[in-house]
Amino acid sequence: METEIMRAVDEMGPYVAAALAAYGAGVLSRAEDASADATVNAGRHILLRVWSRISPTRRLMLQQAVEDAVTTGPAADDGAAALRVQLRHALREDPRLVEELRNLLVTAPRTVTASGERSVAVGGDNTGVVSTADGARITVHGGRTTDPASS
């Protein structure tokens, strides 16, 4: 179960970070913003779902972790770690919450960005070859070779 909790917290990370960046420490009390993108709203929904299921004492700890993450920046190690710890505590206390949040993530949008020369971004599964090399020759199972220059 601990591995599942760790994986779920890792999967929630980008969504929660986006919500913190958009809403700041008010993420737990602010109304949903129709103009916020789906990733931000998914992160906010995750935090609110956790918030609604934890004790008042744990809520204070989660609020402090959110404030720390906002102060240090959601990508900073200390703030993000404190928030992950509080999320793990909440998931340990309510194992059903793990499955609920993972189901929420299944429907959450994925934001994929490729930046830089020859970058590639795949927003889902890729069953083919991705190559950014000049003059690449790609051999596919069965010995068939493709030459991008001739196609």
Band (pLDDT 50/70/90 cuts) for residue 142 is low
pLDDT digits (tens, 9 = 90+) for 12-40: 888 888 888 888 888 887 666 665 677 78
In the prediction, which pLDDT does 114 show? 66
pLDDT digits (tens, 9 = 90+) for 82-117: 899 999 999 998 989 999 998 888 877 666 666 677
What does DSSP say about strands 144-146 and 138-140: parallel, antiparallel, or unpaired?
Answer: antiparallel
Q: What is the mean pLDDT of residues 104-132?
A: 71
Reported pTM: 0.65
CA-derived radius of gyration, the chain: 20
